[in-house]
Amino acid sequence: MSRIYERLEKCYKCFKEKIDFVPDVALVLGSGLGDFADGIKIESTIDYRDIEGFPVSTVQGHRGRFVFGYVGDVKVVIMQGRVHYYEGYKMEDVVLPVRLIKMMGAKVLLLTNAAGGVNRDFHAGDFMLISDHINMAPSPLIGENADELGVRFPDMSNIYDRELREIVRNTAKDLGIPLQEGVYIQLTGPNYESPAEIRMVRTLGADAVGMSTACEAVAANHAGLKTVGISCISNMACGITDKPLTHAEVQETADKAAPLFKKLIAESVIRLGGTL
């Protein structure tokens, strides 16, 4: 048994001792969406601190717990807060929650985040369906491979599942919610990018930039977990406008967009669950 899988099993055992719930759909909530979980039919919750060996988020606005319950009739597990590479964690720690979600039994993963707009046609408050990503952070698959989860050299040609993307796209259309689509790039953070770095990522083909998500999607695909992702464009990236960037601005825009984002997420989850 690989060391990674052995550690996962310890976390899973700790979880099962406290909660008997098998989710179908998993959500990772980014900035501004944290209280989405408070509005569902909750069956159980567990703080990350109560799971042996589980990493704990240090970022303001990230609650740091799993919420188990129902969105409509769909059984869900929701991460209220994630951990980031910039917090000083190893990448293995950053993606451990996604791998644990797979062990819990989830079949679909919906990733959300607050991101900076790189595409000049975007505006703060837009939503972007992630069509693909560029990962500029270390790969979570470096080092020992967890053969129990996936192969050493996994294919990444359909990271954000085409069928799941079509479901979210149609959901937004039916709800009358404008939905951009594009490529997300993950940099390490925690500093915001320089104007030159934003020019670089535009040249590479990115439409939005952030400090999470891509590494989680890689780990999810490695483990056979179907993935879809949506970004809330919380600000335009450095150099796109002359305005200095602050975390307070990101949080404020994400909070303003949250009601519409929650509506999109809730209906998407119901429809995604209907495919299982």
Among residues 229, 233, 239, 228, the alpha carbon closest in space to that of 201 is found at 239
Active site includes 211?
yes
pLDDT tens digit sequence for 110-150: 999 999 999 999 999 999 999 999 999 999 999 999 999 99
Sorting pLDDT into bands at 50, 70 and 90, what band is 239? confident
**Residue 13, H or E segment:** helix 3-18
Candidate list 212, 221, 234, 268, residue with the active-site label: 212
State yes or no: is 123 an active-site residue.
Answer: no
pLDDT tens digits for 190-238? 999 999 999 999 999 999 999 999 999 999 999 999 999 999 998 888 7
User: Maximum Cα–Cα distance for the chain, whole Å?
Assistant: 52
Q: From residue 149, how far is each of 73, 108, 141, 196, 229 by CA, in Å?
A: 28, 15, 11, 38, 21
CA distances from residue 272 to 51, 95, 154 in whole angstroms, order as listed = 28, 22, 24
Whole-model pTM? Answer: 0.94
Q: Is 254 a catalytic residue?
A: no
Query: What SS3 state is found at 173?
Result: helix
The per-residue pLDDT for 26 is: 98
Each residue of 154-182: b (16+ CB within 10 Å) or e? beeeebbbeebbebbeebbeeeeeebbbb
62 in active site:
yes
Residue 238 has what pLDDT?
78
pLDDT at 152 over 80: yes
Q: What pLDDT does 52 receive? A: 87
Catalytic site residue from 48, 79, 87, 257: 87
Question: Which of 86, 89, 145, 181 is an active site residue?
Answer: 86
Tokens of 249: 């601005």
